[in-house]
């Protein structure tokens, strides 16, 4: 009989992340692997691969089924890529742990650098951040939607459906494919908020599971993820809002850079802030400053608060 049931999506990357969560739980508590049961669930986002997320329900497509299973008690916790988890969550669900964050960078496939992308190249991505950030730098390029797991996107690139594409360095590392592509410096090419962070959610009133998960919570990563998600909350950003963010920590303080774009990349606004790591208001203030500075071509894609 398992001590805890972890729900996860069925994709290879999601399963790799669930295995990491199980390994960390077993190591922290001295358990045998059988103490943690992995419960795969097929999400709507995995079933529908031919349309952008914004057209079919947004980030909730990655969490809907796992949320239902969690609230019904069929699982005790669920493992997520935190960049794919909507900002506003059900009151009954809490983040029980954030695992140590991996490399936050994106990886470019199909060219040696952003400048080396061929003129008028077709860039495959369904991520508004990647599309807008690329078009801001390379307005000559064209963007075509491309979705699917890592293997699917690499296959579409090989089949000529796009000239170049982007993947997350963290996802490649977790799949044992760190040698793939060219890493883009996150200081130059800003990542998505909460990129490279694995989160484990549980029921807010489940003290037993919360105590189990607390043993593997990585405090520094948790602080960064909360700040970046708080920024998103302040912006009113959705899966169709082009927003990028990068946080760094030192001496109990957090440095947060953020940029918001028009979808065509023509307009870009960036601001940064340095604040105490426990200051929950500062990311909201940063969001407000960005929206106040941005033109309507950008703000129309954010609701603010």
Instruction: Indicate which residues carry an active-site annotation.
Output: 84
Distance, in Å, from the CA atom of 214 to the CA atom of 60, rounded to the nearest integer, reads: 25
Pairing of strands 182-184, 198-203: unpaired
14 contacts 85 by C-beta, under 8 angstroms: no
**CB within 8 Å of 255: residues ≥ 6 apart:** 247, 248, 249, 272, 273, 274
The pair of three-digit structure tokens given for residue 276, joined into one six-digit string: 């105490």
Structure tokens, 2: 């398992």
Assigned token pair, 244: 């990028």
Q: Tell me the C-alpha distance between 297 and 39, whole Å.
A: 43
List, as one string, the DSSP characters of 15-46: HHHHHHHHHHHHHHHT--GGGEEEEEE--HHH
Long-range contacts of residues 214-218, Cβ cutoff 8 Å, at least 24 apart: 214/96, 214/97, 215/25, 215/28, 215/29, 216/21, 216/24, 216/25, 216/28, 216/97, 216/99, 217/96, 217/97, 217/98, 218/97, 218/98, 218/99, 218/100, 218/101
Q: Would you tell me how many other CB atoms lie within 10 Å of the CB of residue 112? A: 10
Please tell me the distance from the alpha carbon of residue 191 to that of residue 104, in angstroms, as a whole number. 6
Cross-strand bridge partners of residue 255? 248, 274
- 250 token code pair: 């030192």
């Amino acid at each position: 009989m398992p001590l805890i049931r972890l729900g996860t999506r069925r994709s290879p990357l999601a399963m790799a992340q669930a295995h990491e969560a199980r390994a960390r739980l077993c190591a922290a508590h001295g358990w045998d692997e059988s103490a943690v049961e992995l419960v795969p669930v097929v999400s709507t986002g995995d079933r529908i691969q031919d349309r952008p997320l914004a057209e079919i329900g947004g980030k909730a497509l990655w969490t809907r089924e796992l949320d239902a299973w969690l609230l019904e008690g069929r699982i005790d916790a669920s493992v997520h890529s935190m960049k794919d988890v909507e900002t506003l969550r059900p009151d009954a669900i809490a983040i029980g742990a954030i695992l140590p964050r991996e490399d936050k960078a994106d990886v470019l496939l199909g060219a040696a650098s952003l400048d080396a992308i061929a003129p008028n190249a077709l860039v495959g991505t369904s991520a508004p951040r990647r599309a807008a950030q690329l078009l801001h730098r390379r307005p000559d390029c064209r963007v075509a939607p491309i979705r699917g797991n890592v293997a699917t996107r690499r296959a579409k690139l090989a089949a000529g459906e796009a000239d170049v594409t982007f993947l997350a360095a963290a996802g490649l590392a977790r799949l044992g494919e760190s040698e793939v592509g060219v890493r883009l410096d996150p200081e130059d090419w800003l990542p998505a908020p909460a990129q490279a962070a694995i989160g484990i959610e549980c029921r807010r009133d489940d003290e037993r599971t919360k105590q189990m998960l607390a043993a593997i919570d990585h405090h520094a990563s948790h602080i960064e993820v909360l700040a970046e998600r708080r920024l998103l909350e302040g912006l009113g950003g959705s899966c169709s809002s082009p927003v990028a963010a990068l946080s760094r920590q030192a001496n109990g303080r957090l440095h947060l850079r953020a940029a918001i774009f028009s979808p065509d990349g023509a307009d870009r606004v960036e601001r940064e802030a340095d604040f105490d790591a426990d200051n929950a208001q500062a990311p909201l203030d940063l969001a407000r400053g960005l929206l106040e500075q941005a033109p309507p071509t950008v703000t129309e894609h954010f609701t603010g608060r």
